[in-house]
Structure 1
Amino acid sequence: MTVSIPYMHFRGGSSKGLFFLKKDLPEDENLRNQYLIAAIEGTTQGDSRQIDGLGGGSSLSSKIAIVSPSTSPEADLDYFFVQVQIGKGKVSTLQTCGNMLAGVLPFAIELGIIKANSPTTSARINMVNTGGICEVIVQTPSYQVQYEGDTKIDGVLGTSSPIICNYLETVGATCGALLPTRNSIDTILDIETTCIDNGMPVVIMRASDFGLNGYESISELEKNESLKQKIETIRLIAGEKMQLGDVSQQTIPKMCLIAPPIQGGVVHTRMFIPHVVHEAIGVLAAVSVATACILPESITKNITHFTENSSFFSIEHPSGEFTVNLEYSTNNQDVIIKSSGVIRTARLISKGEVYISI
């Protein structure tokens, strides 16, 4: 049976994927997931090449946003994120995606779900996967979404119009606490780690503890099978400690190697998501890493370089840097996160109908 579903294809931040209205998809979760896998890969059996679907053969381009008017009185839109696991015929819905979030309000404006103002339009978006709220501001001069602009984000060629994302209530969004193990440092397989969740569960480790300098190229790290195996073993143990249970079939927690900054930032990173090395760093992963930098006894101690009481944290990654604006206060040894702000961009690539066979 062949079915057609209306969609829009957006580039959001350094990711891209398909955007659907919730009402256009099956209510049954299993059937919905079959539709989404078929849309991205062309088959529900999974095809890592994705030649019969709309995916791009990368985890960064195998993403889906499901959008609807919000059922929450605190938000305008509900955003449910689905990550298609390449070639596996499976999806993951435990985490959200900050890059794809950048396209949610433009998508809603394009469809008339949210009425545009001028010169900007704002909306509060409920991230259904984790329960957090994000206030998003889009440039809409003359009551239309403006995609062109001068804002540059590393990891994306060219410039676009800025989209401001202020994350609220993201502390412990997935794991239930900022430090889900209740420790600033946990030792796993003789490697010291900080397990943290400020919107994205991340396990942070020193690159030097693996015999690395932390500035290795992506291809170098990808070829290091023993390194990837050890990191995966740590990830499975950390998942249990972070109240996530068995994460062997999940894409969280993300794994992050850190080193001293070399580009004037706060810290240098190599992110595993979780089995391949990220070309940059995810939005909420960057927020969690930045948050670890202000914790007094985390793994970042003696590695980070930043000005005391600064709210801007430049997180270095293979493609450049990602700046996070943390609004926070301290009470003795406790850190209270008020909001986490980032700037993203988005572009509407195409819209139409995707035909799938079920």
Structure 2
Amino acid sequence: MSDVSSPSQCRVPATYMRGGTSKGVFFRLQDLPPAAQIPGEARDSLLMRVIGSPDPYGKQIDGMGGATSSTSKTVIVSKSEQPDHDVDYLFGQVSIDKPMVDWSGNCGNLSAAVGPFAIHAGLIAPERIPQNGIVAVRVWQVNIQKTIVVHVPVVNGLVQETGEFELDGVTFPAAEIQVDFMDPADGEGSMFPTGNLVDDLDVPGVGTFNATLINAGIPTIFVDAASIGYQGTELQDDINNDSKALAMFETIRAHGALKMGLIEHLDEAKTRQHTPKIAFVAKPQTYLASSGTTVSAAQTDLLVRALSMGKLHHAMMGTAAVAIAAAACVPGTLVNLAAGGGNQTSVTFGHPSGTLKVGASTALAQQSWKVEKVVMSRSARILMEGWVRVPAETIASG
């Protein structure tokens, strides 16, 4: 329960965690104030105030957010109501400058942290936890109604957080956590919502170009870098400091969302910032990563740059990595062609911070493609735990 610690502020039990190349504030559902334990305005108001949004300055100084899409995140975990699952995981992407929490998709990076958090929060039965070994935490991802299996290493009965596994985009090494995204394609429709591996996407004011529209992990629009005037080697400053470029990407994203059937009118894209994602792909080239390290063409199968919440991501969103894996392993998509074409079971792609290897098992059934599983390695670590404080009026008015 929340604990009123002063007349003006309430404190709510919370854990601040890094998962993959993202970080966010994690809550047990039972620890939220009663009004915030159910979806609605009270929950959204609480999470926005925790993160420090909406902030017209774009800095989130008065909250836990880090003023980027990768750090403006919240997670709610509870014992699962689904058969054969351990926990339910609900993800809220908090807008930095708008009064909005986007519940339309998952965060693949923070998915890696849900397993360790579930153990830490006492949501996994003690008899499931070995003295030394791996705990396969079965997670029901509530936003997208999918199963994720998080393989958590345990040493001396405790979650192993430190280790030698290095993840580009994360400064320090940590313990490796394998994350399996089971049947990640849209359960209600086709993995390729238009029925095509490649579509002609007509964007007024921008042009008409090829696009692969896929719903696996998260709805994603893939275009060729060259078709929009890029190389695929760009870093954040090359795009995020260019207002015209950002406006172009948002226009493409809106028209792609319309073609995918995610929205009915272009204006709806403004209130659906988290999905779909937009990414551009290119064949391998040598480039300098944001850390100053050279990534050679020989190290990668293709290059991918993706935008999240209107900005070029510093590495790669985990859910977009699922989409990359799925699209790369289906012959004929733009992602697959950039990786050399043909049958693929895994690819290593270059992103602004370095490289990432992802694998997928795909099958063609009844003239439609199905992805059975996407696998990637991440890491996770608790950064801080205790209580997060919010003005009492936030809860009272929710």
Is TM > 0.5 for Structure 1 vs Structure 2?
A: yes
Match of 1:339 in 2: 373
Contact 2:326 2:374 in 1 (8 A): no
1:166 matches 2:180: yes
Alignment CA distance shift 1:45-1:225 (3 Å): closer
**Pairing 1:179-194 to 2, within 5 Å after superposition:** 179-188=192-201, 189=203, 190-194=208-212
Q: 1:214-229, aligned counterparts within 5 Å?
A: 214-229=232-247
TM-score, length-scaled by structure 1:
0.94
Distance in 2, Cα, partners of 1:259 & 1:126 = 34
Say whether the 8 Å CA contact 2:329–2:362 is kept in structure 1: no
Match of 1:207 among 220, 225, 237: 225
Give the secondary structure class of the aligned counterpart of 1:270. strand
Compared CA separation, residues 238 and 105, structure 1 to 2 (3 A): same
In 2, the alpha carbon distance for the partners of 1:137 and 1:159 equals 17
Which of 27, 44, 49 does residue 37 from structure 2 map onto? 27
Give the secondary structure class of the aligned counterpart of 1:52: coil
Q: Does 1:248 align with 2:255?
A: no
Deviates more, 1:10-19 or 1:114-123: 114-123
The residue that corresponds to 2:189 in the other structure is: 176
Partner SS, residue 151 of structure 1: coil
CA apart distance, 1:260 = 0.3
Q: How far apart are the structure 2 equivalents of 1:301 and 1:167?
A: 20
State the 1:232 CA deviation: 1.2
2:318 and 2:191 mapped to 1: Cα distance? 17
Q: Tell me the SS of whatever aligns to 2:45.
A: helix
CA–CA distance in structure 2, aligned partners of residues 305 and 183 of structure 1: 19
Backbone CA RMSD of aligned residues? 1.9
Alignment of 1:283-294 (within 5 A): 283-294=318-329
| Pairing 1:65-214 to 2, within 5 Å after superposition | 65-114=75-124, 115=126, 116-117=129-130, 118-173=132-187, 176-188=189-201, 189=203, 190-214=208-232
Distance 1:325 1:200 in 2: 16
SS of match in other structure, 1:35: helix
2:17/2:26 contact within 8 Å kept: yes
Q: 2: CA distance between counterparts of 1:303 and 1:310?
A: 12
- Alpha-carbon distance between aligned partners in 2 of 1:247 and 1:19, rounded to the nearest angstrom: 27
CA contact (8 A) 1:63 1:82 kept: yes
Q: Secondary structure at the match of 1:287?
A: helix
Secondary structure of the structure 2 residue equivalent to 1:177: coil
- Structure 2 partner of 1:318: 352
**TM-score, normalized by length of structure 2?**
0.85
Residues 5 and 355, structure 1, Cα contact 8 Å, conserved in 2: yes
In 1, distance between residues paired with 2:139 and 2:228? 39
Amino acid at match of 1:40: I
Residues 140, 146 of structure 2: 8 Å contact kept: yes
Q: Matches of 1:80 and 1:220 in 2, distance apart? A: 33
Is contact 1:286–1:315 with CA below 8 Å preserved after alignment? Answer: no
Amino acid at match of 1:326: A
Task: Flag structure 2 segments of 5+ consecutive residues without an equivalent.
Answer: 1-7, 286-296
Q: Deviations over 1:47-100 (max 9, x none)?
A: 622111111121111111100000000311000000110021211010100111
Cα distance in 2 for residues equivalent to 1:281 and 1:150: 21
Distance 2:115 2:378 in 1: 12
Structure 1 Cα separation of the partners of residues 137 and 333 of structure 2:
34
Q: 1:241 to 1:180 in 2, by over 3 A?
A: same
The alignment status of 1:40 with 2:40, answered yes or no, reads no
1:13: which partner in 2?
A: 20
Percent identity (aligned): 30
Deviation at 1:309, TM superposition (A): 4.5
Deviation at 1:132, TM superposition (A): 0.7
Q: CA deviation digits over 1:329-358, x for unaligned, max 9?
A: 345964331111111100110001111011
Which 10-residue stretch deviates more, 277-286 or 45-54?
45-54
Residues 218-243 of structure 1 show CA distances to partners (whole Å, capped at 9, x for unaligned) of 21122333332222112111112212
* Structure 2 counterpart of 1:270, from 300, 305, 312: 305
Question: How far is the alpha carbon of 1:255 from its aligned partner?
Answer: 0.6
- How many equivalent residue pairs? 355
Counterpart CA distance in 2 for 1:216 and 1:136 is: 32
Stretch moving more, 221-230 or 315-324: 221-230
Match of 1:50 among 60, 68, 73: 60
Of 238, 258, 270, 2:281 maps to 258
C-alpha distance in 2, partners of 1:27/1:332? Answer: 42
Q: CA deviation at 1:148?
A: 0.7
Choose from 219, 236, 244 the match for 2:254: 236
Partner of 2:294: none
The alignment partner of 2:212 has SS state of strand
CA contact (8 A) 2:77 2:89 kept: yes
- 3-state secondary structure, aligned to 2:249: helix
Instruction: Tell me: CA distance 1:125–1:301, structure 2 relative to 1, closer, same or farther (3 Å).
Output: closer
Cα distance between partner residues in 2 of 1:191 and 1:73: 44
